Amino acid sequence: MNYESRLNIKSWALEDRPREKFAAKGKGSLSDAELIAILLGSGNTDETAVELAKRILSFANNRLDELGKMDLNQLKKFKGIGDAKAVTISAAMELGRRRKSEASKREKVNSSKVAYEIFADVLSDLPHEEFWILLLNRANMVINRINISKGGVSGTVADVKLIFKAAIEQSASSMIVAHNHPSGNLKASDADLRLTAKLKKAGAFLDIAVLDHIIVGHGAYLSMADEGLM
């Protein structure tokens, strides 16, 4: 017997195979790589599905949010990943994003961290800038989360009239605004500060408080309210 020969997943102990482990011990017992391996179903001639999944995750810096940014062409660069497997991975990432999005709409916003978590699923994975608003009622419960604009890598235009039109139409008592910096730099630019001041002034006139402006980076955020910038 050749003791140096590779073992495929079917040769592993039952409790170590991802699907069997999932069924026997529950989803929480599996690593991210093992869950992705279940999506893949198989590896390639050089790697098991788990080994391939680990390599894909390593390319994404072992971060699921980075994996969610990868498009189909990037995924298909890995040996053994064709159209079907690339679409399966992307679909799973999108389902996770939508699940988080649905849960966020039922939340009460009582801190910048909660606000960031509500925006993170739509802003963290983008290669371009977008501007969003979160409309709240008098109890600070979420009424709606709305995309106002999409831009390029270095900026996007947020129209103050459109922002408050949406707030008035949905009878919002207050709002939190947010945009992302694809570079990951969380410093508020002069344009960010000017826009925030303009929104605060318009909100005061219309009796719709602008509570915060969140800048989303790579797994982190800046709250202008927390930093005393508004």
What 8-state DSSP symbol labels residue 106?
T
In sequence order, which residues have a C-beta less than 8 Å from that of residue 174 and are 6 or more positions away?
135, 136, 140, 203, 208, 209, 210, 211
pLDDT at site 151: 84
Domain 108-223: give its CATH code: 3.40.140.10
pLDDT at site 24: 82
The C-alpha atoms of residue 112 and residue 186 are separated, in whole angstroms, by: 14
Domain 13-101: give its CATH code: 1.10.150
Locate 119 and state its tokens: 């925006």
User: Phi and psi dihedrals of 18, rounded to 5?
Assistant: -55, -50
Q: How far is CA 170 from CA 74, 105, 134, 215, in A?
A: 40, 14, 11, 24
Torsion angle of C-alpha atoms 47, 52, 53, 57, degrees rounded to 10: 140
Write the DSSP assignment of 126-161 as a string of letters: -SS-EEEEEEE-TT-BEEEEEEEEE--SS-----HH
Question: Rounded mean pLDDT of the chain?
Answer: 88
The C-alpha atoms of residue 40 and residue 160 are separated, in whole angstroms, by: 45
What is the per-residue pLDDT across 13-30, written as a single tens digit (0 to 9) for each?
444 588 888 888 888 888
The C-alpha atoms of residue 138 and residue 108 are separated, in whole angstroms, by: 11
3-state secondary structure (DSSP) of residue 5: coil
The answer to whether domain 13-101 and domain 108-223 are alike in fold is: no
What is the per-residue pLDDT across 138-173, written as a single tens digit (0 to 9) for each?
999 999 999 999 887 666 789 999 999 999 999 999
Spans of all domains in the chain? 13-101, 108-223
- pLDDT beneath 50: ranges in the chain: 1-7, 13-15
> At what angle are helices 32-40 and 18-25 packed, to 10 degrees?
120
pLDDT at site 155: 65
3-state secondary structure (DSSP) of residue 214: strand
pLDDT at site 1: 37
